[in-house]
Structure 1
Amino acid sequence: MQYLHALETAIIYIEAHLDEDIGLEDVARETGYSYYHMTRLFKSAVGETVGSYINKRRLSNAAKELLYTENRIIDIAIYNGYESSEAFSRAFKDIYRISPLEYRKNKHDFFIGSKKGLNIDMLKHITNSITLEPTIANFKETKIVGIRGEVALKGNGLSCLWEQFHRIYAAIPHTVPNRRDFCVCETNQTTYKKNGDAIYSEMIGTEVDSFEEMPDFVVNKTVKPGKYAVFTHMGSLANLEKTYDYIWGTWSLSTKEELDNREDFELYTEQFYSMDNPDNRIKIYIPVC
């Protein structure tokens, strides 16, 4: 896929010049593609325009500076390519829904708006392992039973939690035919760390038709019904974070769908074979209004 080299060149150039006044013309010139072809290539492969990517990367960098430095807001604005604090504040509020000053006071890092820099691995993942545009579906209320644990965004705690779940699965009564397992991200219990990591609560469970007579070592949860944007992640669980990076760093910032405050979750069916299987198909449900 020759175009991946052009995209990698474009990303490397953008990341090296984020603090400069660059645009699509500069990126196209660097890659040797025409303005028109770079526009089409970048949008179809990455899911957004060059200008959108540049703007969101600058704002994501600025958000980190607001939280983890004492630099003045005007200095942060200028360093990240904005001519004034007013222009920076308008652009920031478009993405984060609050002003830079409020964001700094709240001391809350967000998944939404967290636009990480791309690399060739992420470009390949976006191209081959994600449905860039989700389907919109209604999901029925569902009872699940399983275990809960804390997981670090940058650690491997999730795989350990799955191993624990598989050890106790046989002891769960009232499971339904055509087994469906769930991994629910309990975002209201997330703690953000100064190093950029996040500790959040995950519940892994399987679908049941009753909560009666459950053993003491399991927990119950009802997955809320409603409308969801449904993505398909293809491949190993090790790359699942990359899919979420795309969802929260690209799709959520450009979609016309309004995000809802229900919890998002992953759905595992017979198309999930093992933690590292490249043929896995995992559905990710993002709540929308």
Structure 2
Amino acid sequence: MDWIKQLNEAIDYIEDNLTGEISYEKISKIAGCSIYNFQRMFSYIADKPLSEYIRNRRLTLSAFDVLNTNERIIDISLKYGYESQDAFSRAFRNYHGVLPSIVRNETAQLKSCPKLSFQITIKGEKHMNYRIEEFPGFKVVGVSNRINTSSAFEAIPRIWEKAWQDGTMNAFMEFFQKVDYAPAGFLGISSGGQWGESEEMDYILGVTNYVDRPECTYVPPADGMEEFSYPPCKWAVFEANGELPEAVQQIYKQFYTEWLPNSGYELADLPVIESYMQDNHQEVWIALIKSENSKG
């Protein structure tokens, strides 16, 4: 897969629908990955959330309409997806610093968010420690939380905070007395929202309770926990050691902007797993398949 081509085609789709409905399912199909993975990829490449980019592009174009047409402001509001003129005026002022009615009648300074265009830039600023591992099937026990993909970055820290408060993490720690399997430590698993099926996803907190190897003993889930099974797959496992959340965020940014476009791999239709261990040692597990266009 030509990642840069797919990304730019997704941007073209967004651009063509700024005055209509933008479907995250359609974006995911164009990009060839889950909605959540696309949003994650976009945020690390563009340094802003996808929802913010779309909002800023609409507010940029709406300013041109206010300046250069005789359309009523209420009609411009509806054109760019706002339910009322008041809602549009608030968003317009938050972005541009001035009300649209003033722009129409007075000289005002406005902001502009240009259309994005992606290209590969080889930086090599920081090396990445990783391994490619053919890993057998494995099971995870834990708790699942249903969240909107558009608010995932805000919701996930609250899920971890709640788990420490309600005893969930203490229950996980009891498993460590029985098992020590990879992916190790506390796991944060981003699952679902795949290939146009849903704009929601599951975020799972858990621990590995079984790996399909002869030496591994199966440990059943505790009361109140679910069990999740994952098939054999090729995984890229990246070290993400250091202070959180910066260490993990840096790995994602390098992965999407430097490693993946040049790797000869595509994202597999499996969850992304973050493994949190002791002493600021973390790993990011990303499932891969060989690209059809790869020569390797």
What is the TM-score normalised by the length of structure 1? Answer: 0.49
**Whose relative contact order is higher, 1 or 2, with alpha carbons under 8 Å and at least 6 apart?**
2
Q: Which has the larger radius of gyration?
A: 2
